[in-house]
Structure 1
Amino acid sequence: MEYVTAHGARIPALGFGVFRMSDAEVEAVVPAALEAGFRHFDTAQIYKNEAALGRALDAAGAKRDELFLTTKVWVDKYAKGQFAASVDESLDKLGVDKVDLLLLHWPGDSVPVPEQVALINEVQAAGKTRFIGVSNQNVSQLRESARVSPAPIVTNQVELHPYIDQSRLAQAAQELGIAITAYYGMADGAVPKDEALQKIGAQYGKTAAQVALRWLVQQGYIALSKTARPARVAENFDIFDFTLSPADMQIIAGLSRPDGRIVDPKGLAPDWAA
């Protein structure tokens, strides 16, 4: 496993995400993920499967001190009292006394970013998370979060795959010492079917999916992989025994396009150009 370090947080560069997975799928696949080598697990309140993840990790005998657990607070909890109570509920479902990383899930358009940041800092000060971060923030929001937060913002979790150019955001994050965590790395199923990525993978004896994950990790990003099929878990983890050439990295970066963004919910997403 490779690691990404940001403001004292040492985060496994490859994580296992459980977005859009049922309780049954989570409980079936997590043992395979642990066996493959995954120790970084990413969930969220809105996924409705925190409890399933907690049960699966416990049933598999996972050692808490070997895990890096991330969850996210949903936008309807961005209020005094509600925020902390929702985190308590998440911890209870996960079966832990604190998570390793707590994120603000979306910036939304009703609660100012400084107020959100103040709430998550209160939770960290109360010892309920080791580190804090944000998700789906644009450049200006990320700069504002870093400026007003008493505790360091360690990551911004955003959509990132070969078809979207996030270089401007990545540059700002680097200047702030903030890690980028990539979700939707498979571009909702487009990556495994991509002929250019398949061709690159053939040179290394790897799949298109493995190439895309390696491309993310090789740039210093934290990549979240996901599969509900236990048989596919080992493939997702098997990306640390090869290095993409500079030419291949450039080819993959060249796949980005203006309409590459997939996730852009109204009322939750910011102005991405800001």
Structure 2
Amino acid sequence: MGTEDAETVAPGTCPTANGMPMLGLGTWQNDDPEQCAESVRTALETGYRHIDTAQIYDNEEAVGDGIARADVDREDVFLATKIWASNLAPDDVLETARESIDRLGVDHVDLLYVHWPARAYEGEETLSAFSELYDEGLVENVGISNFLPEQVADAVDSCDAPILANQVELHPMLPQPELREACENAGVEVVAYSPIARGAVFDQPEIQAVAEKHDVSEAQVSLAWLREKGVTAIPKATGEEHIRDNWASLTLELDREDVERIDSIDETNREVDPDFAPWN
């Protein structure tokens, strides 16, 4: 299957998790404004309906430009951004969320995440500001990111607004079963960043074997595996070829043997590991 198969996946046919499209476009390190805007436009016109950014990516304005350029109605786009760790005091949440919405050129975001439970993050106090934005209609859904299992439960208990998702690094070399179980028990969806492990899946023998079997890319295998696990994926891609190849993963159905083969990978590879991460 080549990238031309992206044409067989119609816009709006991507499976959803509580209203959130399960395949989206990540924009981390897509910081050239013109490139970023064109990546977003290309993704939306390919069929994507989920776009993910963050304050710290310094590209919210470009993401908004891409949404405006695309021949897709804003109301059809599920748009997510994240409040950076230094902006998580309640007043800063309220102020910088509005600034993000202004930069994006929209009147609300569909999902607003706590980017990390670190630095200015103070559980109930921080999440009270997220709930206020939710009540005002500036935020359709509240999210958390990089939260450990016990932190997920605490956040759900502390937040008056429902928490839709926990965005974490997740891929075949970092499957995070305990975290996925904790999120399921809490009624929280899981969103995977770095879902192809920054390209490491291309060198993984088990994934290579499954890719060869189905005549697809290793990236498609990783994305299809995540979908089999009920996980939403937001792979970063800038060029049209990669954008379309990732989208074509929606046509790939893995069988039980494929999933078991990938599950058997005996390798752990965490790509994102800052000193302030809660597991450090």
| Common fold: TM-score over 0.5 | yes
Shift of 1:80: 2.9
CA RMSD of aligned residues (A): 1.5
Distance 1:133 1:260, change over 3 A: same
**Match of 1:81, SS?**
helix
Higher helix share: 2
Q: 1:11 aligns with which of 3, 9, 20?
A: 20
- Count the aligned residue pairs: 267
Q: Which ranges in structure 2 are unaligned for 5 or more consecutive residues?
A: 1-12
Deviations 1:21-80 (A, max 9, x none): 122221222222122211100000000000001011112233111100000000111113
Aligned to 2:148: 138
Aligned positions of 1:139-154 closer than 5 A: 139-154=149-164
- Following TM superposition, where does structure 1 have runs of at least 4 consecutive aligned residues deviating by more than 6 angstroms? none
Deviates more, 1:143-152 or 1:188-197: 188-197
Q: Does 1:54 align with 2:64?
A: yes
When normalised by structure 2's length, the TM-score is: 0.91
Q: 1:64 aligns with which of 56, 61, 74?
A: 74
- Overall identity of the aligned pairs, in %: 34
Aligned positions of 1:28-43 closer than 5 A: 28-43=38-53
**Match of 1:220, SS?**
coil
Letter in 1 for 2:270: R
Aligned to 2:14: 2
Shift of 1:256: 4.7
Shift of 1:235: 0.7
Provide the C-alpha distance between the structure 2 equivalents of 1:93 and 1:241, rounded to a whole number of angstroms.
35
Aligned to 1:228: 238
Provide the C-alpha distance between the structure 2 equivalents of 1:83 and 1:256, rounded to a whole number of angstroms.
40
Aligned positions of 1:166-181 closer than 5 A: 166-181=176-191
When normalised by structure 1's length, the TM-score is: 0.93
Provide the C-alpha distance between the structure 1 equivalents of 2:101 and 2:219, rounded to a whole number of angstroms.
32
Provide the C-alpha distance between the structure 2 equivalents of 1:154 and 1:166, rounded to a whole number of angstroms.
18
**Match of 2:269, SS?**
coil
Aligned to 2:167: 157
**Match of 2:127, SS?**
helix
Deviations 1:191-249 (A, max 9, x none): 12323212211221211110000000121110111211122211110012231111211
Provide the C-alpha distance between the structure 2 equivalents of 1:119 and 1:256, rounded to a whole number of angstroms.
42
Q: 2:223 aligns with which of 194, 197, 213?
A: 213
Aligned to 1:263: 272
**Match of 1:157, SS?**
strand
Q: Which ranges in structure 1 are unaligned for 5 or more consecutive residues?
A: none
